[in-house]
Amino acid sequence: MKVAVFSTKAYDRKFLSAANSPTQHELVFFEPRLNRDTAILAAGFPAVCVFVHDQVDAPTLELLASRGTRLIVLRCAGFNNVDLQAAADLGITVVRVPAYSPYGVAEHAVGLILSLNRKIHRAYNRVREGNFSLDGLLGFNLHERTVGIIGTGKIGLILGQIMKGFGCELLAYDVYRNPQLEALGGKYVELPELFANSDIISLHCPLTLETHHLINAEAIEQIKSGVMLINTSRGALIDTQAVIEGLKSGKIGYLGVDVYEQESELFFEDLSGEIIQDDIFQRLTTFPNVLITGHQAFFTAEALHNIAETTFANIADVEKGHPCTNEIRAQFSA
């Protein structure tokens, strides 16, 4: 099948090309993101492969459908950037990669926890400047601390396993209980109890209408003072302005995020020579107790290999008319 691959970097080309060998599909790589302006590039392609920040809205889908596209292949898990109802109306099938880096994301969350707690990022810069003072670098033992995990699917479970290894107590919230987490000693509670009793809160849930701005001003009022808040899931789970106020008041003692609700204008690009216009993001970077990474939690060799393999398996299923377990339809929540 002829596939137009948007938002491609060098690593995308490397792993997708390797998984496509021996050549099964004709891949054409485009660096720009897919949107209604760039959709013309996919003219004549029956399949279009996209990533998290491509805009697969109704106007873009209409343009794609009018030029022969019948398959949208997401090389990611999230799909809130796709108008599923419009795709269904146009006869376009949408598939995704539901799980590709649960260990990578969970381990990155732990990396943020350790770095924030022991101020490793600050200590690194101090030592490079010949400053060996320990003032301001005081941390705390993770042992016997309480970790609240919101979302206990594959990633949340792995985080629980790792934190249990540190000797942490586990609280959890999810609409579906995971018996494997309960077997670790994790206790499911309602959000107010989790907020009030957790020393560390880590978010691992999808973005839905119900979880949008899950961490807002009201939630911050309920959290334990000085809490560490970690988000490696979806940026819009957090009301960034409310979190800034929480940081200023000291209610939030630490913030580690790999995602940001307006990240599509920033992440995956080198903006080091430009003036960033997002004042809210820039305010976040001024706090000494905030650590931000640019949506790299998924970014492991294993994950990119899994993404490529699943992407082509999805294409093969659709091409052969087989049922695809990774197809998503309008009744799903992104």
With beta carbons less than 8 A apart as the criterion, state whether 109 and 159 touch. Answer: yes
Active-site residue, selected from the candidate residues 193, 295, 302, 319: 295
Question: CA 18, CA 12: separation in Å to the nearest integer?
Answer: 10
Q: Which residues touch 52 (CB under 8 Å, ≥6 apart)?
A: 76, 78, 81, 295
- Whether 295 is catalytic: yes
Please say if 265 is a catalytic residue: no
Q: Which of 174, 177, 166 is nearest to 149 (CA)?
A: 174
* Helices (H), ranges, 99-216: 102-118, 120-128, 154-165, 179-183, 191-197
Give, as one character, the DSSP assignment of residue 327: B
**Residue from 25, 33, 261, 263 carrying the catalytic annotation:** 263
DSSP letters, 39-58, are GGGGTT-SEEEE-TT--B-H
Nearest-10 Cα torsion for 172, 177, 180, 181: 0
> Which residue intervals of the chain are DSSP H helices?
10-19, 58-66, 84-89, 102-118, 120-128, 154-165, 179-183, 191-197, 217-222, 240-249, 279-284, 301-319
Contacts of 230 (CB under 8 A, 6+ apart): 109, 112, 113, 200, 201, 202, 203, 256, 257
Q: What are the phi and psi torsion angles at 48 (to 5°)?
A: -125, 130
Environment class of residue 3 by beta-carbon count within 10 Å: exposed (0-12), middle (13-18) or buried (19+)?
buried
Q: Which two tokens stand for residue 222?
A: 């309920």
Is 182 tagged catalytic? no
> What sign results for the dihedral spanned by CA atoms 179, 156, 174, 189?
positive
Q: Exactly one of 62, 234, 245, 322 is catalytic; name it.
A: 234
Residues with a known catalytic role = 234, 263, 295
